Structure 1
Amino acid sequence: MTTNRLARTSGDDWRRVLDLTLRLTQRSVFSEFKGTALGRLWSLINPLATVTVFALIFGVVFRGGVAPGRNSGIDSFALWIGIGVLCWNFLSGGILSGMNALVSNSGLLTKVYFPRQVLVYSAVLALAVDFSFELFVLIIIAMAMGGLGVLLMIPSLILVTVLAAMFSAGLALILSIATVYFRDIAHLWQIFNQVWMYASGVVFSLSMLDDVQNRLFDMGWQINGHPIPITTIFRLNPAEIFLEAYRACLYDFAFPSLPVMSACALWGFIMFAVGMIFFQRHSARIVEEL
């Protein structure tokens, strides 16, 4: 009887968390463009503007190069970068929104009790809703440039997005607690975030690092007679793995490789689990600190 009662209580708690998360997400989504003339159309205009800007900068002014898409035949450095920028914005934006969720809603937290983690969940989920519109735009552009094959990648895109959201939410849960106790973390994170972006291959292909690796080796930078494995080090970055999965779907029209998907799943589930455990252990006194 006691076990059944505990199971029902746990189930009720999860349903409450889910209900509050969805309600707060709905509020955020509907209030985001409130009062604007174009409303939700901005979710389509913003990614189009981003891709256009990068098409002008990197497609005309600074011509870069990546190999054409494996199955799509797309040969557009601008689209390749646009995919990286928009997907990076989703990943890093979810972390930033989630980590500030507790401090931003301090007034609400001090007035009424509810599961605090729903603020972080709803912040990430609201961003995921916006990102779904951006993915729609990217799919349309990729389809126009490479054909209908990108439509077969939609299930993979959904899976990668879920895993990326789990990763962002997990890390945001940890950082949200840290931000309550140490407000300087919010400012430090903005600096780290800029470094992290460039370390994630957002605007350059990791294949370009091979030349850097060889040049450093010629200059004497080596480990036991071998070049420093810069490319391998960069691939340990979870953000780079998620971007690689998105680019496989949207640029190559190919399912992400098993190692890439496995890494995405590991990063997503492990970070989310660690974030939940950390939040539960250290969230008891946050109202006093706020």
Structure 2
Amino acid sequence: MSIVQDLRGSRELLLNLTRREIKGKYKRTALGQLWSLANPLAAMAIYTVVFAFIIRVQPEPGDPSGLDIFALWLLCALLPWSFFTNVVNGGMGALVGNENLIKKVHFPRIALLVANSFSWMFSWSIEMVVLLVALVIVGANALPWVPLVLVFMALMSLLATGVALMLSVANVYFRDTQHFVGIFFQVWFYLTPILYPVSMVAGVSEDIGPLFGSVTVLDLYLLNPIGEFAEAFRNLLYDNRWPDLATSLTCAAWSLAAFFLGYWIFKRHEKGLAEAL
């Protein structure tokens, strides 16, 4: 059974699960959904103070937008990263967290993972609208690029969901998975050009020279799929121009490969999930 058939037959369940996820995130909190803005804005403020004023990271002005505002440059990549980690972390615990439901009711288990992704997409959309408004206020010509931004948001959702599908199965059989992933994400964050531009890595790579053959540090660094997405979102929102064709194709390839691999792994283990839990 394909994923389309899985989800088409459980549309109402998927909708209810998504609503539950959205309402449950900030249940009984004073700010409610505003926390989806407060958390990334707090992170942006901290990183801006540290990296713009203390360590003094200075990315190039937007080309051709001419923008030179570190906080907005940072948010263009920080929000996609936050979405990715939220989807993966939430999806990784979706099966274990719904153990009772899985054991009692027969339904496509993938609905739990897709509902988690949809709920975080809802929060991310609010954050991106606020970012878009801020960019327009400071003079960026970001509105014409919104349709393409939505395309890359969809691609990133596929990437995150695919990774979550794989890790959710791993977490059922090996509960230490979530702890290893937490450590890995800390390392991955600083290996991604979110707080600093790729040009800094290119300079270091040039100083070091080839590692083996003609392969350089920069070549290995550019294998990071989130780095490609960060570049694409900055091109669209901050620079106001088309992403490079290579960047766009790389994002699409990573997203489709991760999603279909994750779906294949998930379907292979779906029947044994209730027993394993």
**Does residue 79 of the first structure (1) align with residue 72 of the second (2)?**
yes
TM-score, length basis structure 1: 0.88
Residues 83/12 of structure 1: CA separation in 2 closer, same or farther (3 Å cut): closer
Matches of 1:146 and 1:114, distance apart in 2: 49
Gaps in structure 2 of 5+ consecutive residues: none
Kindly indicate whether the alpha-carbon contact (under 8 Å) linking 1:21 and 1:118 is maintained by their aligned counterparts in 2: yes
The one-letter code sitting in structure 2 at the alignment partner of 1:89 is S
**Does residue 35 of the first structure (1) align with residue 28 of the second (2)?**
yes
**Does residue 53 of the first structure (1) align with residue 46 of the second (2)?**
yes
Residues 42-121 of structure 1 mapped to structure 2, 5 A cutoff? 42-121=35-114
In the TM superposition, residue 201 of structure 1 has moved relative to its aligned partner by 1.5
Give the share of equivalent positions with the same residue, in percent: 35
Residue 223 of structure 1 is matched in structure 2 by 212
**Does residue 274 of the first structure (1) align with residue 261 of the second (2)?**
yes
In the TM superposition, residue 129 of structure 1 has moved relative to its aligned partner by 0.6
Residues 137-286 of structure 1 mapped to structure 2, 5 A cutoff? 137-147=130-140, 149-217=141-209, 222-224=211-213, 228-286=215-273
* Range with greater deviation from structure 2 (92-101 or 53-62): 53-62
Kindly indicate whether the alpha-carbon contact (under 8 Å) linking 1:50 and 1:82 is maintained by their aligned counterparts in 2: no
Gaps in structure 1 of 5+ consecutive residues: 1-5
Which of 129, 134, 141 pairs up with 2:127?
Answer: 134
In the TM superposition, residue 268 of structure 1 has moved relative to its aligned partner by 1.3
Residues 17/241 of structure 1: CA separation in 2 closer, same or farther (3 Å cut): farther
**Does residue 122 of the first structure (1) align with residue 115 of the second (2)?**
yes
Kindly indicate whether the alpha-carbon contact (under 8 Å) linking 1:48 and 1:137 is maintained by their aligned counterparts in 2: no
| C-alpha RMSD over aligned residues | 2.1
State the Cα deviation string for residues 43-74 of structure 1 (Å, max 9, x = none).
33444333333333333333211111012211
In the TM superposition, residue 130 of structure 1 has moved relative to its aligned partner by 0.4
* Structure exhibiting the larger radius of gyration computed from Cα positions: 1
Residues 73/141 of structure 1: CA separation in 2 closer, same or farther (3 Å cut): same
Matches of 1:222 and 1:178, distance apart in 2: 34
The one-letter code sitting in structure 1 at the alignment partner of 2:263 is M
Matches of 2:221 and 2:241, distance apart in 1: 22
Kindly indicate whether the alpha-carbon contact (under 8 Å) linking 1:58 and 1:78 is maintained by their aligned counterparts in 2: no
Matched position secondary structure for 1:37: coil
Residues 155/134 of structure 1: CA separation in 2 closer, same or farther (3 Å cut): same
Kindly indicate whether the alpha-carbon contact (under 8 Å) linking 1:47 and 1:137 is maintained by their aligned counterparts in 2: no
Matches of 2:162 and 2:125, distance apart in 1: 20
Matches of 2:45 and 2:211, distance apart in 1: 41
Kindly indicate whether the alpha-carbon contact (under 8 Å) linking 2:52 and 2:58 is maintained by their aligned counterparts in 1: no
Kindly indicate whether the alpha-carbon contact (under 8 Å) linking 1:59 and 1:76 is maintained by their aligned counterparts in 2: no
Matched position secondary structure for 1:196: helix
Residues 42/265 of structure 1: CA separation in 2 closer, same or farther (3 Å cut): same
In the TM superposition, residue 214 of structure 1 has moved relative to its aligned partner by 2.8
In the TM superposition, residue 12 of structure 1 has moved relative to its aligned partner by 5.7
Matches of 1:193 and 1:41, distance apart in 2: 25
Matches of 2:250 and 2:15, distance apart in 1: 28
